[in-house]
Structure 1
Amino acid sequence: MTEDVGQAGPSRAARRRRVLPTVAALALLLGGGTAVAAGLSGSDDTLSPPALTAAPDGRSATTQTVPAPKPSTSPPAREDPTPAPGADRDEDAEDLAPVAQPASVSIPAIGVTSHLLHLGLDDQGALAVPEGQDYDSAAWYDGSPRPGQDGPAVILGHVSGAAGPSVFFDLARLQVGDTVEVSRADGTTATFEIYDLRQSPKDTFPTAQVYGNTPGPELRVITCGGTFSDTTGHFDDNIIVFAREV
């Protein structure tokens, strides 16, 4: 992908027009229990990752499910009245500010550091995933906003593979309040604080809540989780991290 560091990002309206068709494309992918929002599991992914041990309210999350969302592009309901970071920015000034492409991701609480691949959709219209020598790298979905732009930037990665644990094997160990740092090609860093973690069956993946518009910059980090199914060759669930820029 050609870098365009220093070039102004698309306008807010343009970004929203860009995201909305993507949600429809991903809905085809996420339906029917296909793998990790993007096929982030395969026949080699047999090493069981940690379970999501506790929901933010203290309940067991091992069997936690997320109801299938109604088709909607509205942002998910906020759990507190505090405005999202960046929600009160001057729109014209924000549109003119350049946001460079993401280069790497760091999650200190679980010791993860990875450069970021830039992946889009494959020939079948499904979300492309890390493969080959890049299998254990994390990837930014380039149909989502750049980290630091309004909306949910999406980062994904495998949980395990033939060689053992992969980049997001310990994702379920994260807790509310932990941070995710995304370094960008111009040397700047966007820091996001986790406000929710969910373990969701793939056949009820919360598409609108993951990919829907948000009032400020947010981040989603996604991998596989739950029980590995010998029948499907995939893990049954997704682990989804929700975070806001701070």
Structure 2
Amino acid sequence: MSRRTRLSVTALLLAVPVFLLAACAPGGGTDKVIGGPARAEEPSRVSIPSIGVSSQLIRLGRNADDSVQVPPLEKGMTAGWYTGSAKPGTPGAAVIIGHERIPDGKAVFHDLRKVTRGTEIDVERGDGKVLRFSVTDTETADPSAFPTRKVYGQTDSTALRLVTCAGDDPDPRGHPVENLIVYAELVAR
């Protein structure tokens, strides 16, 4: 890896945790989210049958401050694929972000904490191909200790990461105090 590439990857990894505060904030979200998929190999839907999740995916990029976009609160039942991550089915980690709750109640990833090792997650691409992933691990982390490299870093496997905020007791500002990350690997194309 060249020095320039290492610096770009390092800059990305250092900037990513900023999105978590926005994702957990009651007023989080952005008006810059664009619909998807733009290409056949991009994801268009995520499904987790065991917890009743079936969501179209919106495309998420970066905000003006270089933080990762999150779905706007008015789309609380819709998850989003971070376009700076891998395309599902290719080597690397595809990252899908969704809210756990919104001011009006439950959101798309409300029951994500119920998934366990072996839970199946299907990701449909724009070309209609469905990729099946199997959960390998889950992790709860304090936002200040978010495992950025583990979630967004390079991997030789074909992986999926689901990210949401969690925690039953919000901080004094009303923000959830934890992040929930679900790790999964491709098992069927």
**TM-score of Structure 1 vs Structure 2, range by shorter chain:** 0.7 to 0.9
Unaligned runs of 5+ in 1: 1-12, 46-97
Deviations 1:158-217 (A, max 9, x none): 000121000000001001000110001111011110000111111111111111111121
1:21 aligned residue: 8
- Asked if 1:105 is matched to 2:84, the reply is no
User: Which structure's residues are more often strand, by fraction?
Assistant: 2
The residue type equivalent to 1:160 in the other structure is: R
Tell me if 1:141 matches 2:82.
yes
C-alpha contact (below 8 Å) 1:35/1:234 kept by paired residues? no
SS in structure 1 of the partner of residue 185 of structure 2: strand
| Cα shift at 1:227 | 4.1
Sort the Cα spacing of 1:222 and 1:124 in 2 relative to 1 into closer, same or farther, 3 A.
Answer: same
Deviations along 1:121-150, whole A, 9 cap, x unmatched? 011101111115423210000000110010
Q: Supply the distance in 1 between the matched residues of 2:15 and 2:94 (Cα, whole angstroms).
A: 20
- Cross-structure match for 1:172: 113
1:39 to 22, 25, 45: 22
Contact kept in structure 2, 1:99 and 1:148, CA below 8 Å: no
Q: CA RMSD in A?
A: 2.4
The one-letter code of the counterpart of 1:174 is V
Amino acid at match of 1:21: S
Residue identity in the other structure for 1:146: K
Structure 2 unmatched runs, 5+: 29-38
* Equivalent residues of 1:159, 1:166 under 8 A apart: yes
- The alignment's TM-score, normalised by the length of structure 1, stands at 0.65
Alpha-carbon distance in 1 for matches of 2:95, 2:133 = 12
Among 81, 89, 103, the residue aligned to 1:162: 103
Distance 1:41 1:22, change over 3 A: farther
- Aligned counterpart in structure 2 of residue 184 of structure 1, from 98, 106, 125: 125
Q: Distance in 2 between matches of 1:161 and 1:23?
A: 32
Q: Percent identity, aligned pairs only? A: 36
**Cα separation, 1, equivalents of 2:91 and 2:152:** 12
Task: Tell whether 2:141 aligns with 1:238.
Answer: no
Question: How far is 1:27 from its partner?
Answer: 2.2
Contact 1:104 1:116 in 2 (8 A): yes
Structure whose alpha-carbon radius of gyration is higher: 1
Deviation of residue 237 (structure 1)?
0.7
Distance 1:160 1:183, change over 3 A: same
TM-score (norm 2): 0.83
Q: Distance in 1 between matches of 2:91 and 2:53?
A: 25
Distance verdict in 2 for CA 1:103–1:40, change over 3 Å: same
Q: Is the 8 A contact 1:102 1:140 kept in 2?
A: yes
* Alignment partners' CA distance in 1, 2:121 and 2:171: 33
* Paired residue type of 2:54: T
Distance 2:49 2:7 in 1: 32
Q: Which has the higher contact order (CA 8 A, sep 6+)?
A: 1
The 3 A distance-change label for structure 1 pair 187 and 199 is: same
What is the distance in 2 between the residues matched to 1:119 and 1:35?
A: 11
Contact 1:150 1:217 in 2 (8 A): yes
Aligned to 2:154: 213
Amino acid at match of 1:42: A
- Counterpart position of 2:34: none
* Aligned residue pairs, count: 174
